[in-house]
Structure 1
Amino acid sequence: MHCQIPNVSLQLLHKTIHTTSSFYLSPKLNLNQHQLASTATTKQTQIQKPDSYNVKFTTLEACQLSISRYPNFDYNAKGGSGFGMASKIAESNDQISVDFDVNGLYIPPLSTATTKFLGLPLPPFLKIDILPETFHGSIDRDSGKVELKFRARFCFSVGTVYKARPLLVDTVLTSEECKGEIIRGGKGERLGKDGMCRLIGTTNQIMHCQIPNLSLQLLHKTTHTTSSFYLSPKLNLNQHQLASTATTKQTQIQKPDSYNVKFTTLEACQLSISRYPNFDYNAKGGSGFGMAAKIAESTDEFSVDFDVNGLYIPPLSTATTKFLGLPLPPFLKIDILPEAFHGSIDRDSGKVELKFRARFCFSVGTVYKARPLLVDTVLTSEECKGKIIRGGKGERLGKDGMCRLVGVAKVEPINDIFMDTFLALPTECLAVLNATISFSSSTT
């Protein structure tokens, strides 16, 4: 755990078992003399330093928290404070023992007002309260070295819908350097004459959570965003009509002009939006049906139109989606509601171009439902690029009916303060989808 004392930020969005986190605090310590004794003589005036002090601890801005494999959370802990007592350890040095009253120690919760992830505020419905249980240690006023044992429970909640069991953090916050066994450590800063210092702490922790089964895919709303949709479909084309003419010298098989089409989504899909890293998405189980008709007799290119009323694409959820290698929180869910899905397929070259329009509906249990995010793009087996974010390259339809479709979309704001801000709308999103498309004959 990596911590700066005045600034404390924590962001546990996911359940973590035996993970290492770093806590970064930038505190200000004010030590006021509790007792003063002085003796004066004609030749010498001696000021005796007191043996005990009242101590005030104040948290500041620019704190950080790292947990598991996630990037740092930036945390503004300004406004936190606590009081305690300090007493001299030995007469021979200026090292003092410090013990804070945890009942009066307040550290601001991690919330949308105090914490940012990847430069964007946390969702407003997420909150992590910090409940201190122990805060004591030693301070060497001569060298500025600080060692404070800190134990607290971090209580993660999503509105009134979900409250996890507390996460116990037990560490030593130090002004020196510390390293974790799993993740990076950090280096603090010793106590200065102005009472400022930076404390770092690393800890191994075990978090026990009870999580309901919910699905989540899009955590934030994006306005004017480009998205890329990556599909790996399998296309099986079976003849709708067969006509054969046999002669002594030639046998001719006439291909049909129309087919029934089945579309099936697969694993290993991806979604990128705004500045966030890729979301890994398992879309296995999605399917839909449509019709395909030949565009011209001279080519093997077909026009395809799917029935969106029967087209099902699995929602983004804890069961289907991972972010930075970890499942999405179980209370988050993004439903995908298709509005249009049609285009063309060239069976000779394998080129696929399908217009895809859908509404992505983000929800957090029953607490929060954002306005739908409209994604309108062309899923292609070719290469596509966005103006804001990276693009992608698809794969043409093979003999086995498999293909990978990529699409970049411009996402507009939805007039939702949280979603527009969190996703930095307008922006772009990228989707990569693996799927199978099978063509079967229909008998008349």
Structure 2
Amino acid sequence: MKFTIIIPAFNAEKYIKEAVESLINQTLDFTQYCEVIIVDDGSTDQTGAICKSYRDLYPGNIKYIYSENFGPGNARNLGLEAVSEDTDYIGFLDADDYLSEDTLKEVSSFFNKNTEVQLAVIPIYHFENTDTPHRLNYRFEKGTRVIDITKEYKAIQFHIGGCFFKSQQFVGQGKYRFRKDLMFWEDAYLINTLLMRSKRYGVIAEPKYYYRKRSEKDSLVDLAWYKKSRYTDVLRKCYKGMINESLRLFKRIIPYTQFLIIYHLKLFLYPKNNGIIFKVLDKKEQEEFFQLLAELLQTLEPKYIKIQDMGKIYKDYLLSLRKNGWPYQPAKKSLGQHNVKLLYSKYRGLYWKIQGLFINEVYKMKADDQLFIKRDNKTIYLPKENLPYKNRVIWGSVIRDYENTGFEAKVPINWYKFQFGIKTSNRTYLLNEVNLINRTLKRLSLID
């Protein structure tokens, strides 16, 4: 039983020691059971010198390879070419991350018990700039087990760090390699190509992969947004490539593949990312990207958009692109079909204090429009309040306009149940109903 861990490294002088030390200090004997292959992808700092010093300390365990800078996929491929023939398992570790000390022992134990499984993964925990578990760690809540992706389509895998493969997947002619034509998502493409063919993989709950969220925001993932290859190439070569592979293997786009693609493409929409495209692509390239995205969405079922863990505005945006194509067209709803969103409600003595927003994609609320609440035949108009919300814009379209929409008010304690409404210059609309007692009880039950 022997592990080979491949580490691609580029200008990682600040972090590479921690990565390598986490392997040396494994509870499984390092000198007997572990080989480390560090591929220096053209570093210009002291990464090479640090790696060579470790190689000299452990000449029987650590290999150092230097390459011109061609990206992490090429670096991992070079590492795969250098794997020793007696290796049983191949794992991947990024140079700025590290493993918990029991990782290799737990992975070995899992594969010994599940000999038919070709891939196993461990949970990811962020550190440095944020201290949170990865959002996909829900897969580990049931403990160490084997997942069938045809039965658990939400159990998706992207990140190559913390993945451990049976060596026969990579060693020898015609085996798996990272695509050289991809500068981004090459790891997810390889992982999911393998998963669609094998249909099963292991999740090992006890060990941990520590993923560094850099304070400087200078990781390859962060910088990828400023490269052309992060846009149309990802749609055409990665997402459509996955779709074509699913069609080839299953004669349909399986739920796993649909959920996987939408889970990942939603990152394009988020505020910190969606404006960057205008700095990176010219107008012709932008149009090509948007058109291709709409076409791709039309091949996927709306169900897999609706069940994503993301805000309603993003779901509505994607559903609109899927239905109407590019450019974006907001849903056509009457004013009365929209709701007031209650952000805050709490009782204070003889009053309820409430705060909220009127949410409408197609109507820009005017300064003289009035929100009100109605109970029986009585009406209370709500004083306007400028709440600290920025307009939501996706690729030039205002999806949420918060001007004049906020309110804050005190209402009598017996007004725990009422209906919102809006009065415009020419008409009055009744909107959604609210029960403050039920809302409070629900909030308290969540706390318990």
TM-score range for the pair, normalised by the shorter chain length: under 0.3
Greater gyration radius: 1
More strand per residue: 1 or 2?
1
More helix per residue: 1 or 2?
2
Instruction: Give the TM-score taking structure 1 as reference length.
Output: 0.23
- Greater RCO (CA < 8 Å, at least 6 residues apart): 1
Instruction: Give the TM-score taking structure 2 as reference length.
Output: 0.23
